[in-house]
Structure 1
Amino acid sequence: MRALLVVNPAATTTSARTRDVLIHALASDLKLDVVTTEYRGHARDLARQAAENGETELVVALGGDGTVNEVVNGLLHHGPAPEALPGLAVVPGGSTNVFARALGLPNDAIEATGALLDALHDHSERTVGLGLAAGTPGTEDEGAPARWFTFCAGFGFDAGVVGRVEQQREQGKRSTHALYIRQVVRQFLKDQHRRQGAITLERPGHDPVEQLVVSIVCNTAPWTYLGNRPVYAAPEASFDTALDVLGLSRLSPSAVARYATQLLTSSPERGPHGKHAVSLHDLTDFTLHSQAPLPFQMDGDHLGLRTSVTFTGVRRALRVIV
């Protein structure tokens, strides 16, 4: 099998020596081409070329969730066609690795490589659903390009936290749970919409859901991890269904404490709940509008400010070796 290994050299949890070991292990079973990314968007470009050349059967992403997201967007540049496109495999190398862990892969890169080789020997794969987000026609964001996401998107408060974390990392700070907690507090103190939300969710055939402060769109559960603790914003979310949404319409100090506790103690059976929480399951088409430009993120990548985003849940979008 001819495969392309896309390596992010800045992946936070793999060393050059570890990457060499992984490359040798994969090359023993695959006709392997190895390319190291050199710029933002390079993994997307490499995966698109692999999808278009007709020779590559598998693309392996070695990196974090950002690298995986770029590879997925490259593979799906012309849209989903699982049987006609190269398969995707993931070797986790980031700080969180939500997508890989949601697939059931070990969080250790060497162990995950062993699991990948076993899956290749057993011809084990699955087809997963993904989310697609685009600018809404007729709005100022109409020209925003469509982009796929693997596990989550956020519009509003949580995206603001992601943006703050990115700024800190660009200044040389390490991505730690303490860093995220500090930015949650700072975003809470700054967010002028936290008492009366500016976000409205619209979907065909239903009344709009208004005045949301938080809107987290989930493609799988768990939504993220705190160390080894899985966090379930939308416990029913699955790679086998469309998209789930957790919306919160209030973020007073007491509400933050309550929902933070519910997230920390969430499980596959129960996520955040209460008077100001809205949970929606298996949505194929919906739009999030805002009265004012708000932060927007996908798979932990801050994409700037938007006033409107249209989401589509696409079942059976991509083959994954697992």
Structure 2
Amino acid sequence: KEINHLKTQLEAENIYLKEEIKSDYSFNEIIGKSEALMHSLYRVEQVAPINTTVLLEGETGTGKELFARAIYKLSKRSNKPFVSINCATLPSGLIESELFGHEKGAFTGAVQKQIGRFELANGGTIFLDEISELPIELQSKLLRVIQEGEFERLGNPKTIKVDVRLIAATNKNLEEQIEQKLFRKDLFYRLNVFPITIAPLRDRIVDIPILAEYFVKQFNHKLGKNIKKISKKSIKELQTYSWPGNIRELENIIERAVIISSGSVLTVEQLHNPNFEKKNKFQSLAENEQQYIIKVLEKTLWRVEGSEGAAIILDINPDTLRSRMRKLEIKKP
């Protein structure tokens, strides 16, 4: 029985490690020099050598998994497994099986025994991303693992003991989730031992050119381009944008710009916040004016003068409209 158990665990570990090898993440990818980033990295260095539970808080796309891996690599468990699971990507009916494993026949479709992620992470670190998405009925089971270091597989009453360091991450305010009865207060206190807040990209303006240049180098290599630099105007455009999707969005925009670029200087298209990001948010007068002028110009097919031009609709002199377009950096696509 013991040999069969070890064989099953080794097979599960091999499958998981093959998936991990495909991962592109590394500690070197936390790039920047902003004060906000340096503070977060200082917090990482403080907590990494200790077996304390860590809660990473930050918006989508800020790089929470990179920080989790940084903590792992600087920890005393760095030669043991790092197991990652995103609680938001699995159907609620499968999360328990993924975390704690199941026996053959434990439920419909369980055609063979499966080792859970906590068992795979034994001796090492487990990273639970989007912890707020964990179903409320499973939160008590997670709490028990944190408190007692034990659980049962689905379909087996035998208690399994594990020694695991837990890192959790959330893009939601867990205290608000508690008020809405979506998250257990006792679990929150167990997770919130050492919180690290990761700043959104809009609060790391000095890091934007550094990150943009890093992504240009990556996509130069990947796409066979030879872009030498990013135009100053594009850098300014990148630094004034609000980045609702954070670093992930910056990476996507740079990739798109590299794909359509034909020269050695990269130019980034004018950036606009998605419509769903604009709802319930106040905008500056300049932003409102810019968007309204663009709408009118699109309606007139970018004609400024004449009886069907934008200046007539806006009831201003064509030269005044051109001046406003220059000031607001409005250009025909």
User: TM class by shorter-chain length?
Assistant: under 0.3
Q: Whose relative contact order is higher, 1 or 2, with alpha carbons under 8 Å and at least 6 apart? A: 1
Give TM-score scaled by structure 1 length: 0.24
Give TM-score scaled by structure 2 length: 0.23
More strand by share: 1
More helix by share: 2
